[in-house]
Structure formats: structure tokens, C-alpha cells
Amino acid sequence: MAPAASSKSLGENTGPTAGTVADATAVPAELKADLRVLVVDDDRTLREGCVSVLEQDGYQVSSTGRGDEAINLVQTRKWDIVLCDLFLTPISGMEVLKSTLQHNKDTIVVMMTGNPSITTSIEALREGAWDYLPKPFAASHLQVLIGRASHAIKVARETRDMEAQLTRENGNSDKMILLGVSGAFRKAVELARRVAATDASVMITGESGTGKELIAQFIHRHSRRASRQLVAINCAAMPEPLLESEMFGHRKGAFTGADRDKPGLLETANGGTLFLDELTEMPLSIQAKLLRVLQDGVVRRVGSEQVDAIVNVRFISATNREPADAAATGILREDLLYRLRVVPLKLPPLRQRQDDIPLLANHFLGHYWARHHGGGEAPPKFSEEAIAFLRTRPWRGNVRELQNVIEHLAVLAEPASQVRPEDIPLQDDDLGPSRGAAGGGEGGFPASVMNEAYHAAKEKVIAHFEREYLMRLTSRAGFNMSKAARLADIDRTTLYRLMEKHGIKRDEAAETPEA
């Protein structure tokens, strides 16, 4: 239960003007008058203080001190905002939260708690809570939070109206489709689809080239904010002062060259989604400033001493690092991590999606053939050996690397030709060109290998030879292991051992004895 101090703290700022921040919300009076708010808390003084502040602001407010009564109210009436204590009797606030969203998924639920532990707060957010309010809190904090919630409701209503209009004008159209049939990838896509319908912050992790920005676009386009902007910013692409100005905007005269007021990307993304790519590259000073936006929606431009805007933004972030490790080493604020990683979503590397390689390769080949050659000539097609060869590659650059390789192939291929393994322009990431093309060092290997100690260089060269030989051998044999072993004049056990040593997976379905 909240101590008495919480209600006292609320009572200190109960006037109609509780500060600049509350004024900055600028919620239209007609919107407030149309919103129904339910306050649920067994602390009578705090409950009545909240009701008093919100009624003075112009909202329609009701209250109760029991969890069971709250569940009855949310089941029988429609509420726009529910402000609920986490610890209630005889039914907990978490159950009130779940029941509220079961009966109306558009209701905004804010949880209050006098013991705001990370575990309970994150659990509430994952269950669908819009935000949480630690006790004790001032009236101005309550006004800002409910003001932000009111803006979110306004945006949601406008979005629904716009979508309905677009449907009437254009009919239903397919939204973004992500290519892939492998279990790990489809699991990630299904999680993205489920979380898209909420406003929860999503943190996407995965190696470079796995499609993190594509998943962010997918989430946005399947969300209630789809008619608003998705604004992307690469946190690693700009120096600190420029990144701060781009994100938060600046006031005229804030620095040399600032000859006018300029809104930042947070204001541009208001009502929509902000995608923070390469999050762990963001300077700590900007992380601290971003945390304020996440907590209160308050934006202060560079060079400003006042609140310039209150924004309602959905955050999606991405990193190719492990976020927990980044927090442990001090390059990512732990409190920011908890705010942005309400729902973690990990994308598998392409080497764990081998079933998707044929699908992706054929899609990219058709796409880039049409782009570079038009539709007048028949596109080339992959041979079975070429597909088998593509499936043996490590794809350290993941889908992006595959995409670049296939575009290169599409530019040079002949119409209606059959693509063979030797036609695929691949480069070995460790030891230079895999086809002995120009650019390698002596003997077809880069100078870096030749400059190493003898035994280390010898082992690396042998490993390169074995891997390259096995990939060519298995593709030449059409992935028939019996045939590959005969061509190499080794037994199948030795062949399997070598493939396992170099991380090359065989297609079990294709492993049938040659007739």
C-alpha cells in the first residue's frame, strides 16, 4: 500500500496550473470532457486526490478502492483510461489490468505502485500496461502522464478514422510480407505480429544483415500507428552534437549555424514510431536525455530552457550487440535498457535459416533481374547444384550479403540461362577471393596470411582449402553424400567428419544412394 506521504505529495500541486510541463500537454478541453477515467486505489486519500485533480482538469472521473469492484466496472462500462494500484484486495491490480484489456484492448491502463521494482514494472508493461506511476507522485506528474495518455487516445482515434477512409477509397491491401519458412524466423515474425498491435517498446537484436530494420517496418505497418510516420535514425552514423540536434531539435542560436528553430525527429515521429538503429552506439549523455522522453514524453530542444513539446512516440530499437553485455560494460544505461526492451525480439542468422536460402535467392534474382533488365527477357534460373552451393556458405553478412551477391549475379547473367555454382560471385570473408580472382596475395591468398607465423598461416591455408574443396565437392555431387565420397575417394565417415569440422551442414533429404 502507498504510504500517506503519497497523498500528501499529490496534494502539494492540486491547483489547475501545476507547472509548465502540465501546460505543455495542451490537451483540448473538448477531448478531456469526452474521456472517461477510472481511478482504482485502496488508499482513500490518494484516490480522492487523483479524482480531484483530474476532475479539475475536465475529465469524467469515477473511482473505487477494491479490485473486484474495478473488474465489475471495466466489464460493464467503457473506460478510456484506467489508473490502477498494483497491490489491491481481494483481487490484485494485475488481474484488473488483464480484465480491462480483455474487454477493451484500446483502454490505456497506467499502474501505480509504492514499490516500483524493475520486475513488477516490466511484468505490468508486458501484460499490456501503457506506463507505470511510482508513488509518491506530485499532481503535475499525474497531469503530464494522463495528458500523454489523452494524446495517445486522440492519435489512435485519428488513425482509425484515416484507416477507415483509406479502406473506403482503396479497399483492403496486403501489408508487408516477410520471406521465410524456417521455424526460428517464423517464430520471430509471429512475435513481431503480436506485439505490433500494442504500443510496447521493442528491442530487436541480431547480427548485421539479418533484417532488423525490416522487422521494425513490419511492426510499424501492422500497428495502430501505421498511418503515421516511421522515423529511423542510425545512432552510429553521426557525431554526438549532430545526433542530439537531429533527435531533439534545436533553438535558434543554440550553436554556430543554428539560424532558425528546428524541430527534431522525436517531434517528427509524434503519433508514430521512432526506430533507433545501432542503439548501443548512442552517447551516454543523449541516453540520459532520451530517458526523460520515455518517462514523461517531454522534449527540450538543444539550447532551450523550457519544454518545447510533449510527444507520444512508440520506440523500436535495434542492436547487433548483446544488450545485457552493453549495460554491464557501461555503454548502455540500465534504466534505458529496461524501458526500451519491454519486448525483446531476436532474429536468427541466415546460417540458421538454411531452408529460407532458396526462397530468398529466387526472390532476389527475380527482383533484381526486373530492375536491371526490365521485363522483356526471361530471367535466369538457379540449378539445383547452385542452390545446394548457396546453402553451404557461412553468410557472415546474412541476408544482406546474400542480397548483394544475387544482385551482382543478376546484373551479369544471360537471359533464360541456368545459374551454376561457378557463376555465383562469392568472396571468402577470411581468406580473400574464393575463386582465385585478382586482389589476393601470393598464391591466391591475401598478404595478411603470408605475414603470419608459419604454422598459423599453414593451418589457415589448409582450413581454407578443405572448406572450399568440400563446398565444391558437395555441390558437384548434388548433395548426394555417397556420390561425393566416391568423387573424393574417401569414405563417408571421413566426409561427414570434415563437414562437421568446418560447420557445413548437409541436406538430409537429398542424402540418398546413387542408383
Please report which confidence band the pLDDT of residue 331 belongs to, taking 50, 70 and 90 as the band edges. Answer: very high
The label of the residue with cell 589457415 reads 460
Q: Which amino acid is at 135?
A: K
- pLDDT of res. 306: 87
Per residue in 101-137, pLDDT (tens digit) is 998 888 999 999 887 666 777 788 888 888 888 888 9
Radius of gyration over every alpha carbon of the chain, rounded to an integer in angstroms: 29
Please report which confidence band the pLDDT of residue 505 belongs to, taking 50, 70 and 90 as the band edges. Answer: low
Total number of domains in the chain: 4
Per residue in 130-181, pLDDT (tens digit) is 888 888 899 999 998 999 899 888 877 876 676 566 555 444 444 456 888 8
The answer to whether residue 255 scores a pLDDT higher than 90 is no
pLDDT mean across residues, the chain: 83
- pLDDT of res. 506: 56
Please report which confidence band the pLDDT of residue 16 belongs to, taking 50, 70 and 90 as the band edges. Answer: very low
The answer to whether residue 512 scores a pLDDT higher than 60 is no
- pLDDT of res. 127: 85
- pLDDT of res. 296: 86
Same domain, 133 and 253: no
Residues 320 and 346 sit within 8 Å (Cβ to Cβ) = no
Residues 333 and 287 sit within 8 Å (Cβ to Cβ) = yes
C-alpha cell at 307: 519544454
Alpha helix segments (H runs only) across 115-182: 118-126, 139-170
Same domain, 342 and 372: no
The answer to whether residue 204 scores a pLDDT higher than 70 is yes
Q: What is the pTM of this model?
A: 0.61
- pLDDT of res. 206: 95
Same domain, 379 and 468: no
Q: How far apart are CA 403 and CA 411, in angstroms?
A: 12
Per residue in 257-270, pLDDT (tens digit) is 888 999 999 999 99
What are the backbone dihedrals phi and psi of residue 243, each rounded to the nearest 5 degrees, phi first?
Answer: -60, -45
The 10 Å CB-count burial string (b at 16+, else e) for 370-388 is: eeebeeeeebbebbebbbb
Residue 305: give its domain's CATH number: 3.40.50.300
Same domain, 330 and 442: no
Residue 111: give its domain's CATH number: 3.40.50.2300
Same domain, 226 and 332: yes
Same domain, 249 and 319: yes
The answer to whether residue 432 scores a pLDDT higher than 70 is no
DSSP string computed for 251-318: -TTSSTT--S-EE-HHHHTTTSEEEEETGGGS-HHHHHHHHHHHHH-EE--BT-SS--EE---EEEEE
Q: Please identify, among 409, 425, 441, the residue that sits at the C-terminal boundary of a domain.
A: 425
The answer to whether residue 232 scores a pLDDT higher than 50 is yes
The answer to whether residue 510 scores a pLDDT higher than 90 is no
- pLDDT of res. 515: 36
Same domain, 420 and 445: no
Q: How many residues does the chain have?
A: 515
The answer to whether residue 479 scores a pLDDT higher than 90 is no
Average confidence (pLDDT) over 350-371: 91
Look at residue 42 and tell me if it is in a domain.
Answer: yes
Same domain, 376 and 318: no
How many CB atoms lie under 10 A from the CB of residue 447?
11
Residue 456: give its domain's CATH number: 1.10.10
For residue 216, give the nearest of 324, 313, 282, 315 by alpha carbon: 315
Domain assignment of residue 310, given as a range: 183-348
